[in-house]
Structure formats: structure tokens, C-alpha cells
């Protein structure tokens, strides 16, 4: 089975632009979470979605939003990009009642 | 407030030596605890987890961790380190409801021959 996949692998954007990152969970996994990992730091929780509903939200501004589709894939959107949004964005998927998260390789976002 | 502290930013050990990585957490309820490893350019891989029961848990790659409620700690150990263990290690705590997850800042492990 394929693992969690994320696209694109790398992305360069300019301040003020908007970006959309994509994640496909492991087949059979209905929950997707998003994390931001700034260089030299641990991942910070952004969102968790289950069955297309937001189940959890971290301490991020409203510029960050996400959604989950009927096939359980997910998108993370960030508006009005700031230099500080430069980071590795990780997606993780789990089964319905499991806390064991499987992480994708991430999308490296650079904001210039 | 929930938080995870990994006091050691960087650790260097000789191959074959034992390893202990420290993790302390602050959490208002019964925590679910995890250790992950991240190799350069790779995603996070789960090493082991603790939900309840036996406080000494075994994981993959020969790692184990011990949950000590009185010390709010969940330290990771390995009796004999291999060169391939060089990586970044993250401790994390999750909520019972599964909708919140907090990582520490990580410990970078270097293994010398």
C-alpha cells in the first residue's frame, strides 16, 4: 500500500500570495492532520479533519484553512503569505479510532 | 497549558554505546505519549507509543521508553546505538480525543564510529 503522499514537494512563493498544499492519506484512513515544522523546531499542529469535519485546530491565524474531500484527501490553504510561513508542512493520516499517525514526506514551502 | 520539553538539543554517542533521550511533558489529563524519528529529508516515523498499562514500552529498531507519571517523563532508551540511528528524535503528547497533538523541539543524535 502507498503511504501518505503530499504535493508538491517544494514550492516557492512571494509574500502576500496564496498557496494550496495537497495530501492523500493511506487507503482506509479517514482522518488527516496538518503540521507546520519550522527549521530546527518540532512540528506544530495546525488542523485535524475526520470525515470532512474539522475536529481540532492549533494556534494558527485564520490565514490558514483546510478542507477534506469525500475521498479523504485534504488541502491546506494559506493566504497572505508571510516570510515566517516558510516551513516544512507535514500531513499525517490515521484510522478512525487510532492515535498512530502516519506522516507524509512533507511539502517544503519557501516564502520570499 | 500542554507542552513537551526535550532538554537536550543535541547528543553525540559512540556506536555501540547506550542512549537515553529525555522527554518531559505538561498535560492536564492522562496523556498519550509518542516518540518519532525523522531522518534528513524524510517524514516522521513512529518508534513507539504509550497509552496505558505497562509503563515500559517496546518499539521498533530496538528502542524502548518508560513512562513515569510522578516525573512527567517519557524517556527513550536504546542499549546499543547503531550508526543508522543518527537522526532527529521527537517526543509528542496527544489528547485522549485525538484532536490535539504536541511535539517537543527535538533532539539531534549524532553517532560516531
B32 and A44 in contact by Cβ < 8 A?
A: no
> What Å distances lie between residue B23 and A77, B34, B49, B89, B92, CA to CA?
32, 10, 13, 10, 9
Residue A104 in domain: no
**In angstroms, rounded to a whole number, what is the distance separating the alpha carbons of residues B90 and A90?**
14
Number of domains in chain A: 1
B100 and A90 in contact by Cβ < 8 A?
A: no
B42 vs A contacts (CB less than 8 Å): 105
**In angstroms, rounded to a whole number, what is the distance separating the alpha carbons of residues A33 and A93?**
6
Domain containing residue B40 = 3-112
Residue A87 in domain: yes
**In angstroms, rounded to a whole number, what is the distance separating the alpha carbons of residues B32 and A8?**
32
Nearest residue to A97 (alpha-carbon basis) of A28, A47, A39: A28
pLDDT tier at B43, thresholds 50, 70, 90: confident
Average pLDDT over residues B9-16: 97
> What Å distances lie between residue B44 and A13, B13, B52, CA to CA?
25, 22, 23
CATH number, residue A82: 2.60.40.10
CATH number, residue B93: 2.60.40.10
**In angstroms, rounded to a whole number, what is the distance separating the alpha carbons of residues A64 and A84?**
13
Number of domains in chain B: 1
Domain containing residue A39 = 5-99
Residue A44 in domain: yes
Instruction: Identify the contact set of chain B against chain A, taking CB-CB distances under 8 A.
Output: 4, 6, 32, 34, 36, 41-46, 49, 51, 90, 92, 94-95, 97-106
B49 and A92 in contact by Cβ < 8 A?
A: no
Query: Residues A12-28: pLDDT tens digits?
Result: 999 999 999 999 999 99
pLDDT tier at B98, thresholds 50, 70, 90: low
Q: Does A41 touch chain B (CB under 8 A)?
A: yes
Query: Residues A78-103: pLDDT tens digits?
Result: 999 999 999 999 999 987 666 788 99
Amino acid at each position: 500500500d502507498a503511504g501518505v503522499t503530499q504535493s508538491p514537494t517544494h514550492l516557492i512563493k512571494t509574500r502576500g500570495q496564496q498557496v494550496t498544499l495537497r495530501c492523500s492519506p493511506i487507503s482506509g484512513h479517514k482522518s488527516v492532520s496538518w503540521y507546520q515544522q519550522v527549521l530546527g523546531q518540532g512540528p506544530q499542529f495546525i488542523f485535524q479533519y475526520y470525515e470532512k469535519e474539522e475536529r481540532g485546530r492549533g494556534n494558527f491565524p485564520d490565514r490558514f484553512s483546510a478542507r477534506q474531500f469525500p475521498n479523504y484527501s485534504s488541502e491546506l490553504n494559506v493566504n497572505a503569505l508571510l516570510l515566517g510561513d516558510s516551513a516544512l508542512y507535514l500531513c499525517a493520516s490515521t484510522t478512525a479510532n487510532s492515535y498512530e499517525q502516519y506522516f507524509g514526506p512533507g511539502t517544503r514551502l519557501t516564502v520570499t | 497549558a500542554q507542552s513537551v520539553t526535550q532538554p537536550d538539543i543535541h547528543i553525540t554517542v559512540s556506536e555501540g554505546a547506550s542512549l537515553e533521550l529525555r522527554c518531559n511533558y505538561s498535560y492536564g489529563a492522562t496523556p498519550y505519549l509518542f516518540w518519532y524519528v525523522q531522518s534528513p529529508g524524510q517524514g516522521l516515523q513512529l518508534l513507539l507509543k504509550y497509552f496505558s498499562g505497562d509503563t515500559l514500552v517496546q518499539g521498533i529498531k530496538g528502542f524502548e521508553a518508560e513512562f513515569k507519571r510522578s516525573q512527567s517523563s517519557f524517556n527513550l532508551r536504546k542499549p546499543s546505538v547503531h550508526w543508522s540511528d543518527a537522526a532527529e528524535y521527537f517526543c509528542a503528547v496527544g489528547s485522549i480525543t485525538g484532536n490535539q497533538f504536541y511535539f517537543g523541539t527535538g533532539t539531534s543524535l549524532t553517532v560516531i564510529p
